[in-house]
């Protein structure tokens, strides 16, 4: 066993090449906690050709299985004879797979009753020995410090973003007793379970919001106070080019209802360290603005002739370029201002309909699907001003109904945002726990 040398640092602690740990912890390399031949890289070269794949058989596990933590993803299978030939690459329940090229460092443990199969060339298999508790290993592997060491072991040049196996095997693993490993793993796993439950709740709320949007924004579901005529009879539907809508609604294009402009090409050579914020495409995210220091630029507030590009509270802005075109939008609040509109970002401002209602349409799947249908298929996808202006939406005849619909959807957004904030806070707590528990700065009773 190649236990790493260390020296006494202070009373009760030792100083190692990766930091300070309790004296009663042992410091090992990754290869030490794996069974003999338990660190295996997937087959290279001609060992696993697509020509050898069959429609049914033994599963070929791919990088996506590690990235998305699922055994259900997969496209390829091999025959029983090929499986026997490549048996050293086979997986059993409890084994770990690690993505080791491109998106490196994602880890997943093969569950019970998973389909039998082998790893492909983009995966590494790890079979642990009895020195380490698997859940503890999973937590150490996912820690920031260990992930940084994986990054340091990657190769460059033609082999860029490929884990260098010789260095990877030497990655340091600090080991308390098995009892303490179990205590640490249990504490961190409990927080993981909480994180997963919040993520599932967010996904459920988002699905409910999407379904509610589809009903309310099309008038398929009418709110009771708007569903009947003055005489109490139910309002009917009428046919339009885009389907049936309530009789008192209209099918209207953005062109007909919005004051629309795109931003000015403020030259980057004249950006300032302070002044008025410039709203660029990089500041527009999925439903919100991002004014992080590393992406926010400024313009001198003394420049004349820029008044028409000054943004207002309630303005809806849409990024017109990028992989998320049609999904990068925001409605501005007073905290975003003052700000100026930069080129390749569109601004929508309407006096004829509710801005909040307009925003709900821009964040709807209908708008994103529309943008997908009209965007250019190039290295940097983009949509044109005409594409946005030609988008059509269903609009209730009264401002009150527009506002009521928008309020319901906005309240659902606020609930989701509260959950997302709770999720981020819980993740921060988990990171703090990892930094304390995985270094022995805080010890658990066991």
**Which backbone phi and psi does 244 adopt, to 5 degrees?**
-80, 140
CB neighbour class for 132 (10 Å; exposed up to 12, middle 13-18, buried from 19): buried
Q: 21 and 112 share a domain?
A: yes
Among 131, 146, 175, residue at a domain's last position: 175
For residue range 11-32, list pLDDT tens digits in order. Answer: 688 998 888 999 999 999 999 9
Q: Which of 175, 203, 221 is the last residue of a domain?
A: 175
Question: Of 155 and 90, which is predicted with more confidence?
Answer: 90
Q: What is the pLDDT of residues 178-216, one digit of tens each?
A: 999 999 999 999 999 999 999 999 999 999 999 999 999
Q: What percent of the chain has pLDDT over 70?
A: 94
Judge if 25 and 168 occupy the same domain: yes
Per-residue pLDDT at 155 = 53
List CB contacts of 65: < 8 A, sequence separation 6 or more. 71, 73, 74, 97, 108, 123
pLDDT band at 162 (very low <50, low <70, confident <90, very high): low
Instruction: Indicate whether 439 belongs to any domain.
Output: no
CA angle 11/20/6 to nearest 5° reads 85
165 and 16 part of one domain: yes
Which of 115, 146, 175 is where one domain is finished? 175
CA distances from 292 to 104, 235, 284, 418 (A): 27, 48, 11, 20
Q: In this structure, is residue 334 part of a structural domain? A: yes
**For 329-362, what is each residue's pLDDT tens digit?**
999 999 999 999 999 999 999 999 999 999 999 9
Q: Is residue 241 part of a domain?
A: no
Confidence of residue 131 (pLDDT cuts 50, 70, 90): very high
CB atoms closer than 10 angstroms to residue 309: 21
Q: Are 131 and 32 in contact (CB under 8 A)?
A: yes
pLDDT tens, position by position, 207-237: 999 999 999 999 999 999 999 999 999 999 9
Strand, helix or coil for residue 410: helix
Beta strand pairing status for 276-279 and 339-341?
Answer: parallel
Do residues 144 and 289 share a domain?
no
Residue 8: count of CB within 10 angstroms of its CB: 10
Domain-embedded: residue 77? yes
Is the pLDDT at 72 greater than 80? The verdict is: yes
In this structure, are 112 and 18 located in the same domain?
A: yes
- For residues 410 and 242, give the distance between their C-alpha atoms in angstroms, rounded to a whole number: 25
The pLDDT of residue 10 is 55
pLDDT tier at 154, thresholds 50, 70, 90: low
Per the prediction, the chain carries an average pLDDT of 91
**Close Cβ partners of 241 (under 8 Å, ≥ 6 residues apart):** 251
Examine residue 199 and state whether it is found in any structural domain, yes or no: no
Average pLDDT over residues 58-84: 92
Domain that holds residue 314: 249-396
Residues in the chain: 446
Residues 145 and 283 both lie in one domain: no
163 and 34 in a common domain? yes
What is the edge-to-edge ordering of all strands in the sheet holding 123-128? Answer: 34-41, 123-128, 96-99, 107-109
> Considering the domain boundaries, does residue 44 fall inside one?
yes
pLDDT-derived band at 294 (thresholds 50, 70, 90) equals very high
Domain count, the chain: 2
CB 342 within 8 A of CB 279: yes
Q: What digits encode the pLDDT tens for the residues 248-271?
A: 999 999 999 999 999 999 999 999
pLDDT at 103 over 90: no
Examine the pLDDT at 9 and tell me if it is beyond 60: no
Residue closest to 429 by CA, chosen among 147, 188, 134: 188
- The reported pLDDT for the residue numbered 6 is 47
The CATH number assigned to the domain holding 96 equals 3.90.220.20
Maximum Cα–Cα distance for the chain, whole Å?
A: 89
Asked if residue 123 and residue 262 are part of one domain, the reply reads no
Q: Kindly state whether residues 17 and 133 are assigned to the same domain.
A: yes
Per-residue confidence (pLDDT) for residue 169, from 0 to 100: 87
């Amino acid at each position: 066993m190649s236990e790493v040398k260390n020296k006494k640092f202070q009373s009760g602690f030792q100083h190692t090449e990766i930091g300070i740990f309790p004296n009663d912890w042992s410091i090992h390399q990754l290869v030490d906690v794996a069974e003999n031949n338990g660190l295996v890289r997937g087959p290279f070269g001609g060992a696993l050709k697509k020509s050898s794949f069959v429609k049914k058989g033994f599963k070929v596990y791919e990088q996506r299985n590690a990235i998305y933590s699922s055994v259900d993803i997969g496209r390829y299978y091999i025959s029983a004879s090929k499986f026997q030939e490549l048996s050293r690459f086979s997986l059993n329940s409890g084994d770990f797979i690690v993505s080791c090229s491109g998106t490196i460092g994602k880890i997943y443990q093969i569950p019970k009753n998973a389909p039998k199969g082998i790893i492909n060339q983009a995966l590494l298999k790890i079979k642990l020995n009895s020195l380490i508790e698997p859940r503890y290993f999973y937590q150490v592997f996912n820690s920031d410090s260990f992930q940084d060491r994986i990054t340091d072991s990657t190769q460059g040049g033609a082999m860029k973003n490929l884990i260098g196996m010789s260095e990877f095997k030497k990655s340091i693993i600090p080991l308390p007793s098995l009892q303490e490993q179990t205590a640490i793993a249990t504490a961190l796993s409990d927080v993981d379970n909480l994180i997963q439950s919040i993520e599932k709740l967010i996904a459920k709320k988002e699905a409910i919001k999407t379904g509610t949007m589809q009903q309310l924004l099309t008038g398929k579901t009418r709110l009771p106070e708007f569903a009947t005529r003055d005489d109490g009879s139910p309002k009917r539907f009428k046919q339009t080019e885009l389907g049936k809508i309530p009789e008192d609604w209209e099918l209207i294009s953005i062109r007909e209802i919005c004051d629309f402009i795109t931003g000015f090409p403020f030259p980057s050579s004249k950006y300032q360290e302070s002044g008025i914020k410039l709203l660029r495409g990089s500041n527009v995210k999925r439903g919100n603005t991002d004014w992080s220091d590393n992406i926010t630029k400024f313009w001198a507030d003394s420049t004349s002739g820029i008044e028409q590009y000054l943004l207002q509270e309630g303005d809806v802005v849409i990024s017109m370029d990028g992989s998320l075109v049609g999904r990068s939008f925001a409605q501005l609040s007073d905290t975003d201002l003052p700000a100026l509109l930069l080129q390749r970002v569109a601004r929508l401002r309407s006096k004829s309909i509710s801005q909040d209602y307009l925003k709900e349409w821009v964040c709807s799947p209908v708008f994103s699907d529309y943008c997908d249908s009209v965007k250019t298929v190039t290295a940097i996808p983009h949509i044109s001003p005409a594409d946005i202006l030609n988008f059509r939406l269903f609009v209730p005849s009264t401002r009150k109904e527009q506002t009521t619909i928008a309020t319901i959807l906005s309240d659902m957004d606020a609930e989701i945002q509260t959950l997302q904030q709770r999720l981020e806070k819980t993740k921060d707590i988990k990171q703090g726990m990892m930094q304390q528990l995985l270094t022995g700065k805080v010890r658990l009773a066991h």
